[in-house]
Structure 1
């Protein structure tokens, strides 16, 4: 692997981690979104990543976004304005603990790839300084 590929590969990892962070933050922001029982619940977003082993650039990419269950969960809230005749409303089926775990994983992935970019830049700069002398 050529030395300059490290920045490109780490950059693809940062892009996937950023999209993962966006999806998790969207899920967390909408986990209390209420819908009528006749409507679909907010569907959680899940980023699907895949490796890119051949071609330019090598690294990782977002293969797509999968959506969670549109059925959600029914909650008995008879005083809610969207409640049906039985007093039920629909909430998304999003687990906060799982989303917070994914948030930390995505954040650490972003940080690790950013560290690779920093180290590679330092190595390239040091190589240029050696060649200068």
Structure 2
């Protein structure tokens, strides 16, 4: 694998991790979004990644799509809320903050690891240029 190949593969990983972080932040921002019980709750977004060119000649990863969580949500008794139904219930998204925070840490670490690969590949390339100058 060439230095530029390593940078290219790591950059695909950074892109996937960035999109994963975007989905997580969207989920966390909307976890307290209230809807009426007859409507659909906010659906959590989950990034699906796939390998490119694997196993013949791995070329990195890409986002294969976004899966949506359940629109059922969870019913919460809040009779004073303006969107409450006759029984006093509203619907919240079924998003677990603990799970989202764990995924955020994994996505951040993945992004950092790929950024470190890019930095090391760049340093290697610069060292090779210095050898050629001497």
Whether TM-score is above 0.5 comes out as: yes
1:8/1:57 contact within 8 Å kept = no
TM-score normalized by the length of structure 2:
0.96
Residue deviations 1:77-103, cap 9 Å, x none?
Answer: 111000000100000000000000000
TM-score normalized by the length of structure 1:
0.96
1:89 and 1:65 map into 2 onto residues whose CA distance is 27
Question: What is the CA-CA distance between 1:4 and the residue it aligns to?
Answer: 1.7
Residue deviations 1:20-62, cap 9 Å, x none?
Answer: 0000000000000000001100000000000012599810000
1:11 equivalenced with 2:11 (yes/no): yes
Secondary structure, counterpart of 2:62 in structure 1: strand
Residues matched between the structures, number: 133
Structure 2 gaps of 5+ residues are none
**Root mean square deviation, CA, Å:** 1.4
Map of 1:124 onto structure 2: 125
Structure 1 gaps of 5+ residues are none
2:38 and 2:45 map into 1 onto residues whose CA distance is 21
Secondary structure, counterpart of 2:86 in structure 1: coil
1:35 equivalenced with 2:35 (yes/no): yes
